[in-house]
Structure 1
Amino acid sequence: MSNSKTKADLSAAFATLRQRFEQSLPERVARMVELMQQATNDDLADVIAEAHKLAGACGTFGHAGLGSNARFIEQLAKEVQVKPADERLQALPGLRQAVLEFDMAVDRALQDAPNAEAEAAAELHQADTVWLLLPEQTLTIELVNQLHAFGHKVECFSDYDSCVTRIQHTAPAVLFTAISLPDGASLFEQTLLLQQLKKQQSRLLVFSETDDFDLRIKASQHSADAFFVSPLDVPNMISTISELLVYGSKRAGRVFIVDDDKLLAQHYALVLNAAGIETHIIENVRSIITEVVRFQPDLLLMDMYMPDYSGAELAGLIRQYKSLKRLPIVFLSSEINKALQLSAMAKGADDFITKPIDDTQLVQAVKSRLKRSQQLKNLIEKDSLTALIKHSSIKEAAELEFVRSQRYKKPFSIVMLDIDHFKAVNDNYGHGTGDIVITSLATLLRKRIRKTDSAGRYGGEEFMLVLPECSHAQAIELTEQILQAFRQLHFSAADKLFSCTYSAGVAASDDNDFTSAEQMIDAADAALYKAKRAGRNQVC
């Protein structure tokens, strides 16, 4: 056997072991959390043993930070265990908090684990840098000021050659460029620049003086994410860039796998994980609804023929639940009879992929469906002005999180925000300027919240945040930080500069014995109006 083949086999084996380890982590940590609920000396012995194992294993499988966390829990538990009974009782809450924080750290680590392709491309890629190449200096200055206000790094260029030179050393997250320059140079003739952008996975936005079909086709051929036409809609452009930067840093998607062939399911999972797609393989189909609700997948990949229940039957079961009616279901099966495929899809599936399929094709097929699913989801769920999810969707997010919080005994918070004196903004500066204020706050919310949080436009100038695993104090701190950043934004209209503030109210699941998400929303709304009555520009 060749040395290169041996290394490849070892790499594959290590990848498999790491995958199995990462899949076991949530369950192992959940067990630690459970043990800490009713902690005794015996329970602490089990916690110490599990923390000891994880302290070594996490580092072995590439999670050194988690290893340090586990080692800290091990040492802390040992110290608590030897304390007298009364002192041990006082010390247990601190240990419980350490275990809960470890649980949250595991969730973040598994969501943020990079794939090999992204790591290779990251050598030059700067995650939050925007390059501007525009012939009009006034517009460039305005965009620089706006982007800086939202915390983005900006570099400006005057010609394509300087971009080509710069991209040999570093690459932007986003390039916003004119399609043509006054000297006659054309973007679509810059082969080296366009190749490097693609290689480094940089996003391309283009700006044209005219809305031309042929130019749009060329932009599409070079995978441009957006095509802007003069006069530039600055708020829309800023919102588009911020959304690309925020969502571009997220996982490629979550896929829930249902297949009775466990080895095949594990293989699919490994292939998709390598492409940056998070996966979950179900062990017992009778718990499919519980596991789907917990995992919150973007797509469900399911075999059509299984021993106990068919894919069509399970698809029909899933569609009985209102919250899961929009979950894309794709059959992955060796069935080649088109009539049978269509019959199965009529039961509630959305698409069909035929086995066998090679790894590259599987990744491409799943990624394309994830992307299209996300686009359709955005059209249905997102507000056209702010690109935040709509009233009904943010309420649904709150309801789902309330159920999850009750089931797993983890806190979450709801925040209601309302822009202060917004009617005066519309009256004094016009509704167009009011829209700019709204979109600016929406962009700020998207940039400042975590990947696991949700932000929605509740109505008019009112917004709502759903913050999983977030206490009342943490929600207050986050909302005040966002308010401070919003105060610092400056808007212009009729040669006048002005700024805005908002009032906000917070309700956390650990504040009260709430019985529904609706009660929490009402409580947050009451806190919001308390902030309004107290003088606005504050969080209650």
Structure 2
Amino acid sequence: MRILVVEDDEMVSQALTNVLGDQNYAVEVAQDGQAGWELVEAFPYDLILLDVMLPKLDGISLCQRLRSQGYNMPVLLLTGIDSSHDKATGLNAGADDYVVKPFDPEELLARVRALLRRGNAIALPILEWGSLKLDPTTHEATYDVHPLHLTPKEYAMLELFLRNSRRVFSCGAILEHIWSYEETPGEEAVRTHIKGLRQKLKAAGAPTDLVETVYGIGYRLKPLEALLVPNCPLETQEQPSKAQTTAAIAGVWNRFKGKIGDSVEVIAEAAAALSEAKLTPELHAQAEREAHTLAGSLGTFGFREGSQVARKIERLLQATKLGRKDATRLGKLVKSLRTEINRPLQETTKEAAPEKDERPLLLIVAPESNTTKQLVTEAANWEIRAEIATNLPAAREKIEREHPNAVLLELDLEQVHSGSLTLLAELSQQTPPVPVLVLTEQNGLERRAGSTLQERLEVARLGGRAFLQKPVSAVQVMEAVNQVLQRAEAGAAKIVVVDDDAQILATLRNLLEPWGMKVRTLEDPRRFWETLEATLPDLLILDIKMPHINGIELCQVVRNDARWSGLPILFLTAYTDANTVNQVFAAGADDFVSKPIVGPELVTRIINRLERIKLLRSLAETDPLTRVANRYKSTTELNRFLSLAKRYNQPLSLAIVDLDRFKQVNDRYGHDVGDAVLRQIGQILLRSFRSEDVVARWGGEEFIVGMYGMTKSDGIERLRELLEIVREQKFAAPGKIEFQVTMSGGIAEYPDDGIDLQSLYRAADAALYQAKLAGRDRIMVHE
């Protein structure tokens, strides 16, 4: 088997050559994308290992070129960026699989073997996955000789999964592959056909999860190893010996250890220059490159902690402005990096801990039903992990074992009057409390409480955070859950406490840390400013009377600096006389708590203050009518994405869309109706684009969409889908009048049409003008 490795990092490419060579693969190496393309044109390869970030021609562009020119060999991407969007970009470009640097050699070899198997299998007339078979010639599918009677869409889905058996397909990707543009339905149609396919597979004797859900991503065929299919034994005879692989890795490490040290010294030199305010742009950029390389390679040699430290250094150096506190932090990280790479190689070979699911956990306490299943599915769309407990004992067990972030409690369970309400009270009294949302039938509690108001009061008294009455959709429930989780996030705030009493500091730490707050304590107020800048707190707690500098003077210093003018400041004081209170508020304090400290009072005041700040920030960044981002927020986000596009040589598309003849809507139906149209358009925009896209209103009926990592051609397809949705949307006016509207848009791409936000906006605006001249209700591209 012949494998081409396209990788510009000599150390990584040598490691790949050794690992693959030990498995008797013939390996050739290209150090940039253009050289890789020339080798592909000259020689046949069975598989390509392709780095994403390459000089001359990046990996994504090379992959797209390979597929457009008809090359079908498997492509395995190597990427140092572990985000769903970047992975999706690579898969959409035509890659078959991806591995995140630093990679584990055994996992890499397993993926290579799987891709080579699949590459051979695709050429066969019959597609197989264990006992599942599909014959593309006769359009027949069977499971263990039992025929599957599939609809055309179910058959197309099954063929898609079998031809790409290691790939996860999102609902959007399935829609693009199976439905034509003219007939594309919503994502619910995909879920319906998946359900039908699973039922028919189950009826033929297949496992119920043969088509498995990868929550938050999409669907795929369950790996054969997990299915334990007797006809497909694991290839244990092909597994490389750990000693052999370790020896190969150690050989490469010994050759490149000196180069690793040189890379660390470049970063150390940058840290020293930064501390003296002499860091040049060239040294800054070189240090960032070295950190990026180390982050992607150290883990390959077993230095996983070193890889994490290098990643932190890379992120720190990506900031456009660095100060003295950054120099101190960078110096500490360099010291940690040196310690890590000087450890003996054999000490770094511990098994990596399994990745933890970082999504918040919602526990649904309700009888199992279609409603609860819909809630679990909808939760995944909100990046929330949902589990069901069908009775109170099971709920208590899960709460004790898994510590959910929130609980959705249905109050029409058995023994509602005692058990469920008791559980609600218990959760509210925990430290910190578990937020509970209550879901009940519309009149479910009337016999006991007498009215809806009394029901709500009962739930509120027992600590419920939200009260939902059926009928309510899964989306509405998850909106309420999301709001409760966001409010709970205030407990993750950073707090700086300045007090010369060590006992008070210990007390505050014990009070606040159980609520998830990060507490930084300081006894000596003379070190206040460096602590403030190093911590970047969300709230500051000050004592009044302290040696050297008192709390009122510190408060005045903070308020005199524009950067900290909005920082909430809370005073702790044993003095409650009118004069002291006046001095505290005159200095700029937001609140005060008298000593001795009453724990619940202090925690309540802090959380309320943090929630208010978060609300004000949200109001300052959101358009109040449409609930999309406003111009200030979106400008900040778009400039951030432009910086990423420049750094990683990625496209960014900017689109301007606005409503056609919107003035006629206001003139004919009134401005209230016009506002209602804008609100609905805002929601349609939010639903039509990815969560990472920037959707904003810049004034009137004009909206902006920024799409990082997306070319104009891909962006046009998204915008055309948007225009189709808007055309079909019906709006209401007084007198039971229904009307429809259309939109026009223009799109431009970085860097072809502009290198900054202003030039991109001008280019997109010019394209929008052409769309209006051409008759409206269309998308035009800047030429």
Percent of counterpart pairs with the same letter? Answer: 20
Provide TM-score, normalisation by structure 2. Answer: 0.39
Distance 1:414 1:280 in 2: 40
Distance 2:521 2:461 in 1: 36
Distance 1:65 1:539 in 2: 46
Which residue pairs with 1:339 in the alignment? Answer: 579
Q: Is the 8 A contact 1:254 1:299 kept in 2?
A: yes
Structure of greater Rg: 2
Distance 2:280 2:549 in 1: 38
1:34-73 matches, cutoff 5 A: 34=274, 39=283, 66-70=305-309
Distance 1:184 1:280 in 2: 46
Aligned: 1:227 with 2:467: yes
Aligned: 1:127 with 2:360: yes
Structure 1 residues 420 and 372, CA, compared in 2 at 3 Å: closer, same or farther? Answer: closer
Distance 2:535 2:639 in 1: 12
Q: Is the 8 A contact 1:420 1:536 kept in 2?
A: no
Structure 2 unaligned regions, length at least 5: 1-266, 320-325, 334-355, 444-450, 666-672, 731-742, 772-777
Which residue pairs with 2:455 in the alignment? Answer: 215
For residues 387-427 of structure 1, what are the alpha-carbon distances to aligned partners after superposition, in whole Å with 9 as ceiling and x for unaligned? Answer: 666556667x679999xx9xxx9xxx999776676989x98
Aligned residue among 277, 284, 287 for 2:517: 277
Give the partner amino acid of 1:339.
N
What is the deviation of 1:351?
A: 0.6
Aligned residue among 297, 300, 314 for 1:100: 314
1:14-33 matches, cutoff 5 A: 31=271
Structure 1 residues 347 and 171, CA, compared in 2 at 3 Å: closer, same or farther? Answer: closer
Aligned residue among 416, 428, 437 for 1:205: 437
What is the deviation of 1:325?
A: 4.5
What is the deviation of 1:438?
A: 2.9
Give the partner amino acid of 1:68.
S
Structure 1 residues 69 and 270, CA, compared in 2 at 3 Å: closer, same or farther? Answer: farther
Provide TM-score, normalisation by structure 1. Answer: 0.52
Aligned residue among 565, 569, 590 for 1:329: 569
Aligned: 1:191 with 2:419: no
Distance 1:163 1:485 in 2: 47
What is the deviation of 1:173?
A: 4.3
Give the partner amino acid of 2:437.
L
Which residue pairs with 1:370 in the alignment? Answer: 610
Give the secondary-structure state (helix, strand or coil) at the position aligned to 1:335: coil
For residues 366-388 of structure 1, what are the alpha-carbon distances to aligned partners after superposition, in whole Å with 9 as ceiling and x for unaligned? Answer: 34543454456556765556766
Aligned residue among 592, 607, 615 for 1:352: 592
Deviates more, 1:265-274 or 1:348-357: 265-274
Q: Is the 8 A contact 2:365 2:392 kept in 1?
A: no
Distance 2:528 2:640 in 1: 19
Distance 1:436 1:156 in 2: 33
Distance 1:485 1:155 in 2: 36
Distance 1:260 1:506 in 2: 57
Q: Is the 8 A contact 2:626 2:678 kept in 1?
A: no
1:226-305 matches, cutoff 5 A: 226-229=466-469, 232=472, 237-245=477-485, 252-258=492-498, 272=512, 275-279=515-519, 288=529, 296-305=536-545
Distance 2:688 2:462 in 1: 29
What is the deviation of 1:188?
A: 7.5
Structure 1 residues 358 and 68, CA, compared in 2 at 3 Å: closer, same or farther? Answer: farther
What is the deviation of 1:216?
A: 1.8
Q: Is the 8 A contact 1:29 1:103 kept in 2?
A: no
Aligned: 1:438 with 2:682: yes
Structure 1 residues 194 and 353, CA, compared in 2 at 3 Å: closer, same or farther? Answer: closer
Structure 1 residues 171 and 353, CA, compared in 2 at 3 Å: closer, same or farther? Answer: closer
Distance 2:683 2:426 in 1: 33
For residues 112-158 of structure 1, what are the alpha-carbon distances to aligned partners after superposition, in whole Å with 9 as ceiling and x for unaligned? Answer: xxxxxxxxxxx999725463859996x7787666555445555578x
Give the secondary-structure state (helix, strand or coil) at the position aligned to 1:300: strand
Q: Is the 8 A contact 1:455 1:463 kept in 2?
A: yes
Structure 1 residues 433 and 174, CA, compared in 2 at 3 Å: closer, same or farther? Answer: farther
Aligned-residue CA RMSD (Å): 6.8
Q: Is the 8 A contact 1:417 1:462 kept in 2?
A: no
For residues 346-378 of structure 1, what are the alpha-carbon distances to aligned partners after superposition, in whole Å with 9 as ceiling and x for unaligned? Answer: 332111123454888765653454345445655
Give the secondary-structure state (helix, strand or coil) at the position aligned to 2:492: coil
